[in-house]
Amino acid sequence: MDKIAVLIPCYNEAKTIEKVVTDFRRELPEAVIYVYDNNSSDGTDEIARKAGAVVRYEYQQGKGNVIRRMFAEIDAECYVMVDGDDTYPADQVQPLVDKVLNKKADMVVGDRLSSTYFEENKRPFHNFGNSIVRGSINLLFKNDIKDIMTGYRAFSYRFVKTFPVLSKGFEIETEMSIHAIDKNMYVENSVIEYRDRPEGSESKLNTYSDGFKVIKTIIRLFKTYRPLAFFGVIALILAVISGAFFVPIFVHYTKTGLVPKIPTLIMSGFVMIAALQSLFTGLILQTMYAKNRQDFEMELNRVTREARDDK
């Protein structure tokens, strides 16, 4: 097991990868630096290899697929994940590593949003999107992670080996954050500076399509991790709709003894049945979720013992 592993997922980062690898070798001389090339066509892998990194490959396109491969293949006491675009300073990595190794944090978030991100980032919709995602997740999942979508993080062994990677692309950071919150992992924030990409280096993010994927991921994970709240909201909306159609019919019946608009009354009844079905679906899934949480805690204990034995 490595003491520290620096994980750098890369896709066409030839302009910056040498500097990133060199900077992290200087700051963490005891670390093994892994560059996972994701079908680059600009020689990123050879440049990284010459700079001293261990180069491996993931042929399924997408950052989530690369992270899945990294987490499966590498064993370390502390993992540092960083992008290969030189937007995150290597000289601020030590606090992240210290919090994992010395404070037993499971995930340390490199917080860009509390420092220079909004000044450095030249894409206003990215700024807006980061704020919306951070606010919605902290509201829905009752936490205070300062930067949900940062690519600069440190992880413990037990986080990495119990994190089920489901996302294929850039929404992976959102999935990591929600997993840590839901599983009551010890999460720390560490403020870091952020600098925009150097001239000639192009972002792989698409503001709208990737933003839409992130929103879908939040909804999917909210349904998975908070099923009673998710289906309870649907049940409430359906019940309100049913009541809005039923009340006027009921009022008319109390005054005249007649039931007008029979089809509307029938529709109202079916909508109320759907509301009850949604509510009971949430209750059943909430019970299953509670059992999954118990199973996860047992798996977490097993992985923790495994890490202790491997040291």
- The predicted model gives 7-26 an average pLDDT of 95
5: which strand partners? Answer: 32, 79
91 Cβ neighbours under 8 A, 6+ residues apart: 23, 27
CA dist 24 → 20, 58, 89, 212 (Å): 6, 22, 9, 33
21-25, 253-257, 273-277: which range is least confident on average?
253-257
Strand 153-156 relative to strand 76-81, pairing = antiparallel
Buried b (16+ CB within 10 A) or exposed e, 143-165: eebbbbbbbbbbbbbbbbbbbeb
Quick one: pLDDT at residue 49? 96
C-alpha 306 chain-centroid distance: 25
Q: Which two tokens stand for residue 12?
A: 């066409």
- The predicted model gives 125-140 an average pLDDT of 75
Question: What pLDDT digit, counting tens, does each position of 284-301 carry?
Answer: 999 999 999 999 999 998
Quick one: pLDDT at residue 95? 95
Location of structure tokens 């992985």: 303
Q: Where do the H-state alpha helices sit in 28-165?
A: 44-50, 63-73, 94-101, 117-120, 124-141, 157-162
Question: What pLDDT digit, counting tens, does each position of 178-213 carry?
Answer: 999 999 999 999 999 887 766 665 665 665 676 787
pTM (whole model) above 0.85: no
Residues of the chain with pLDDT > 90, as a percent, come to 65
**Nearest residue to 1 via CA among 109, 152, 161:** 161
Question: What pLDDT digit, counting tens, does each position of 215-235 carry?
Answer: 888 898 899 999 999 999 999
Q: How far apart are CA 142 and CA 137, in angstroms?
A: 8
Residue type for position 56: R
